[in-house]
A and B are shown apart, each in its own frame.
Chain A
Amino acid sequence: MIRSCVLILALLAPLPALAHNVISSVFPSGSDIEGEVGFSNGDMAADLLIEVFDEAGGKLGETRTDADGFFLFTPSEPVTHIFRGDLGAGHVAEVIMDAAEVAQIMGQSPSMAALAATSTADVTSASRSAGLSDQARAELATMMRNELRPLRQELTAFKNKSDFQSVLGGIGYIFGLFGLGFYIAARRRIGGKA
């Protein structure tokens, strides 16, 4: 009886499902590194201190997120950048941008920066062939980044979504595991009697 009740509870449970993970990502943005931090339920971390470290743990600098959880950091050394934000209560966001990518950002003039994002690369080269000025190209790149931002956010949220299949799959794993344990225990007991 209690088992069937628990099972019913278990099956009803995923309906109001909302993951509660920390999501964070960094990406090149012109000569800066742009990143975002928040929870996968859509709450972004507003005005959060983001500390930047190199690989050895030395501090490179710090920045703060804006109201939408975005932060900007201008790299000064072409080394691996580790971004850390403490959201409290054991929630820590940590994202790494490796040295090659940072070097690529620093080696570029702001107008060429959009090349780092593959999706904007085609537009930039197309606009170059159309004879656009550097300034127009930079504006175009900024526009593209703004357009792609919600898409990227949605994609991150989607990746962190816990769907019905994984819930059922997890329950299946648990029952399978305990079934296996039961089998082994039962066999041991039967073997002990024989």
Chain B
Amino acid sequence: MHIVDGALSNPVVIGGAVSAVGGIAMGLRNLPLERIPAAGVLSASFFVASLIHVPIGPSSVHLILNGLAGLVLGWAAFPALFVGLLLQAVFFGFGGLTVLGVNAVNIALPAVLVGLMFRPLVARGSPLQGAIWGGIGGGAAIAFTTLAVAVSLMLSGDEFILAAKLVFFSHIPVMLIEALLSGAAIFLARRVKPELFVDTKGSLA
């Protein structure tokens, strides 16, 4: 999921960095004081989620948990995931510093999209209904991320269909696991802390 240094062409890397800066600015503007601790916790869980490996065949893929961050934070997921990615690059060597922007866009943009699409649905109805929508959102975020990775590779000259297939199919187990995890987390949050999905003005965010 993390693209490494040297895999992408320069225009893609620069484009990714510029969009990442935009996304972070947008996210910080949408991060009220009350949400900062939640953003920190989700950033930390994203940071360690990449160490949980799901073995498939001879290889393994790791969890990402960007969907959950998007569902809880909306646009604010962008800076939260960026911080997690930065530290993953520094501490574990996942990805790299030059491709940080591209990776941030690939992982945080689907989170934001899922947040915008599913957040009203997650906040509405019974906790169980919310959990189901949360699960769908969690899985969809991974699917969008695989597509974004494939697009980044394509823009750098890889065959799109081939790259997309490879990344998409190898992440199907992750999608299922993340759907379950996100659903469970949303269910729990709706039961014990429903105000997480209501913004400070009292309306459904």
A residues with a Cβ closer than 8 A to B are 1-3, 5-7, 9-10, 13-14, 16-22, 39, 41, 43, 84, 86, 88-92, 94, 160, 162, 166-167, 169-171, 173-175, 177-179, 181-182, 185-186, 189
Name the contact of A174 in the complex, choosing from B44, B153, B189 (C-beta under 8 A). Answer: B44
CB distance from B181 to the nearest CB of A (A): 9
Residues of A within 8 A of B38 (CB): 3
B36 touches which one: A3, A16, A43, A181 (CB < 8 A)? Answer: A181
B51 touches A1 (CB 8 A): no
Contact across chains for B36 and A21 when beta carbons are under 8 A apart: no
- For A90, give its contact among B2, B39, B93 (CB under 8 Å): B2
Judge whether B11 is part of the interface by a CB distance below 8 angstroms: no
A5 touches B88 (CB 8 A): no
CB–CB B192/A16 < 8 A: no
Interface of B is mostly: helix
Q: Are B48 and A167 in contact (CB under 8 A)?
A: yes
The reply to whether the CB of B188 lies closer than 8 angstroms to some CB of chain A is: yes
Instruction: Using CB atoms, name the residue of chain B closest to A6.
Output: B45
Please determine whether B60 and A20 come into contact, CB atoms closer than 8 angstroms. yes
A89 touching B84, Cβ below 8 Å: no
**Which parts of B41-56 form the interface with A (CB within 8 Å)?**
41-45, 47-49, 51-53
Cβ–Cβ contact A90 & B3, under 8 A: yes
- Please give, as numbers and ranges, the residues of chain B lying within 8 Å of A88 by CB-CB distance: 163, 166
Chain A residues with Cβ under 8 A from B5's Cβ? 92, 94
A3 to B45, CA, bound (A): 10
Are A170 and B91 also in contact (CB < 8 A) when A90-B149, A94-B6 are?
Answer: yes
Known: A2-B188, A20-B60, A22-B4. A189 touches B91 (CB 8 A): no
The 6 A-B pairs of least Cβ separation, nearest first, read A178-B40, A90-B3, A92-B7, A1-B192, A13-B48, A17-B51
Known: A9-B45, A17-B51, A175-B44. A185 touches B36 (CB 8 A): yes
